[in-house]
Amino acid sequence: MRGHKPGADAVWGPGSISTKWELGEAAPASAYSSPARSLGDTGITPLSPSHIVNDADPNVSEQQTFLVVVAVDFGTTSSGYAYSFTKEPECIHVMRRWEGGDPGVSNQKTPTTILLTPERKFHSFGYAARDFYHDLDPNEAKQWLYLEKFKMKLHITGDLTMDTDLTAANGKKVKALEIFAYALQYFKEQALKELSDQAGSEFENSDVRWVITVPAIWKQPAKQFMRQAAYQAGLASPENAEQLIIALEPEAASIYCRKLRLHQMIELSKAAVNGYSSSDTVGAGFAQAKEHIRRNRQSRTFLVENVIGEIWSELEEGDKYVVVDSGGGTVDLTVHQIRLPEGHLKELYKATGGPYGSLGVDYEFEKLLCKIFGEDFIEQFKIKRPAAWVDLMIAFESRKRAAAPDRTNPLNITLPFSFIDYYKKFRGHSVEHALRKSNVDFVKWSSQGMLRMSPDAMNALFKPTIDSIIEHLRDLFQKPEVATVKFLFLVGGFAEAPLLQQAVQAAFGDQCRIIIPQDVGLTILKGAVLFGLDPAVIKVRRSPLTYGVGVLNRYVEGKHPPEKLLVKDGTRWCTDVFDKFISADQSVALGELVKRSYTPAKPSQLVIVINIYSSELDDVSFITDPGVKKCGTLRLDLTGTSSAAVPARREIQTLMQFGDTEIKATAVDIATSKSVKVGIDFLNY
């Protein structure tokens, strides 16, 4: 067997368990081009695929100690941070009150808005950015770069790279990575300043373990992008990667929900039992909750009792629950199961969801404005009067929060003066005339210069988004793994919307108990802090995709298609075989590793680059199958590992870990037992 030297540009598959393959000169050019060869995959995988489970991650042996965990909830519409000292993990401190703030929107978080000067330098974030931008002279405002709700770009960009652009309100383009790094740097400075003030001495970044939350439905590139931005912002560094943990938003919410006491939540179905209509009680419940939070706001410290909450004590081994995290941009659904006695969590079904956040309601409002005033006008108005457009959306936001299922009186939205003025210049007639002429029944003009919307009109704006959420949940409830769910926790900023609460209750109230934590907008933030204090709390996750590499295997007549045949030195090989690391929706334990060995083609070779492929399907045979995409690279850097006596055959053993929130890889040179630098890259490949 050793004599054969098949093509150097392929990864060699586990054709035979015991054989080790050697690689020599390049493969002959074949009549067709095989991706595995043409993409320059090198090395071999002689070992049969193996899973090894080990509880301790080999990298974390020299466990770092951090004084404090700071979690940043970087949301689509609003963001914030919270922290806890590792010495007193039961106290979670939510960040200082932000300057600014909106009428009708009581929020511990700040809007995810950022302002850059005309020279593209960071100027301000949050309310400060918005207020400053708003106060600029309209002509001057056109030079400044104002960005909001930009996180969605990472979700919707199929080919995300380090060079992906964002568009500011004035139409100018900026690098997304820079904007995310500026935002994270802002949070870093705010948090360190607050910690230093509390401690009475300078707080070092090295004392902090950072946690950043992302939607569970994000793909690997978006998670890696967030990590890159955090490195650029100085939260952590590639050399000290463990200082930063990426947490999945619904998982964080799930961890916090386990700790809930009865007085910290509202159960929707109980509300109707007491002879009130459910929306009354929910309304009253929230009013009480808000009052409770307002009173506690001065302290901003939440005690998470180190006990299992009452709701949890009703759960038995194996009970299942769904967390519906509905935020500004996305809705994320996760299904967890309890494992007693420690109450560890196991993910039962891969995270699902989609872009059904409260932004959808804003988008419907924009469509309504286009219908009344014309799309051409709205587009022009956004470009020519960007600050006034922001004002209009702020006015809408506060009315949006007043929408409720049983509301009877109309909702008034103030139109900025420059809207009314610019419309007259643009069209030559008044806003009032446009409203009369448009066939939109539910929206009238009030003499105080407001759009008057009937409750039905407002509810209609919510409908498409809420319908998508309910439909998605219905699909999820059809899955056998999800059949016997006991609780549904509704969390995230959009969960405050009574219309969404009512729709979820009406659709699923007879199947499970529906529960909303009181400070629902801060649930993820607090859960992320708890996750940072104990990242091992989620023991089993599900892989959202099938991952693997392209390899060569022995050609088997009748099994392999003839066009995949490659003959080399008399041996027949099948090219492009998909060597599967892990299947979509397969459960993976924390710390579970997939092991493969690769050998450099030439002894002098210093870098091996192996392409990683992914598919949403489980059943994949070849990397050329429909739906299989190249999604990243695994790069083994052998510089510095060679010693004087390099054996003729080197075997690099690679371990990949899929059970964490991010995919990680480590590698070892078997001959020298030295660790090999390995990079797994989903952004630049």
Weakest-pLDDT range from 9-23, 81-95, 524-538: 9-23
What's the pLDDT score for residue 679?
A: 79
Q: Summarize the confidence of residues 192-196 as an average pLDDT.
A: 91
Weakest-pLDDT range from 278-287, 319-328, 452-461, 553-562: 278-287
Cβ(166)–Cβ(225) under 8 Å?
A: no
What's the pLDDT score for residue 261?
A: 61
What's the pLDDT score for residue 94?
A: 85
Q: Which residue has the higher pLDDT, 376 or 274?
A: 376
Residue 279 one-letter amino acid: S
Question: 330: closest CA among 366, 362, 359?
Answer: 359
In the β-sheet with 265-267, what is the strand arrangement from edge to edge? 265-267, 513-517, 485-491, 320-326, 331-339, 344-354, 538-542, 587-589
Weakest-pLDDT range from 281-290, 454-463, 621-630: 281-290
Cβ(491)–Cβ(524) under 8 Å?
A: yes
Q: Summarize the confidence of residues 244-258 as an average pLDDT.
A: 87
Most confident of 127-131, 233-237, 311-315, 553-557: 233-237
Cβ(69)–Cβ(177) under 8 Å?
A: no
Residue 391 one-letter amino acid: D
Q: Give the Cα separation of 103 and 132 in Å (integer).
A: 17
Q: What's the N-to-C CA distance of the chain in angstroms? A: 34
Q: Give the Cα separation of 356 and 332 in Å (integer).
A: 9
Q: Quick: pLDDT tens for 601-660.
A: 677 778 888 888 999 998 899 999 999 999 888 888 877 655 555 566 778 888 888 878
Count other C-beta atoms under 10 Å from residue 559's C-beta.
Answer: 9
Q: Where are the alpha helices (DSSP H) in 137-214?
A: 138-141, 152-156, 176-199
Question: Given pLDDT bands bounded at 50, 70 and 90, which one contains residue 124?
Answer: very high
Q: Which residue has the tokens 């900023």?
A: 493
What's the pLDDT score for residue 346?
A: 80
What's the pLDDT score for residue 147?
A: 93
Beta-sheet pairing, 674-681 with 664-669: antiparallel
Weakest-pLDDT range from 260-274, 593-607, 637-651, 662-676: 260-274
What's the pLDDT score for residue 149?
A: 85
> Please, what's the largest Cα pairwise distance for the chain?
91
Cβ(398)–Cβ(107) under 8 Å?
A: no
Is residue 52's pLDDT more than 80?
no
Q: Where are the alpha helices (DSSP H) in 4-78?
A: 35-38
Q: Give the Cα separation of 669 and 132 in Å (integer).
A: 56
Taken in order of first residue, the domains within the chain and their CATH numbers are 68-248 (3.30.420.40), 359-460 (no CATH), 545-679 (2.60.34.10)
Weakest-pLDDT range from 417-426, 444-453, 462-471, 644-653: 644-653
What's the pLDDT score for residue 63?
A: 53
Weakest-pLDDT range from 91-95, 225-229, 234-238: 91-95
What's the pLDDT score for residue 8?
A: 35
Q: Quick: pLDDT tens for 90-114.
A: 888 888 765 555 544 455 788 899 9
Q: Quick: pLDDT tens for 440-458.
A: 878 888 878 889 999 999 9
Q: Give the Cα separation of 291 and 301 in Å (integer).
A: 16
Question: Given pLDDT bands bounded at 50, 70 and 90, which one contains residue 263?
Answer: low
In the β-sheet with 145-148, what is the strand arrangement from edge to edge? 122-125, 113-116, 145-148
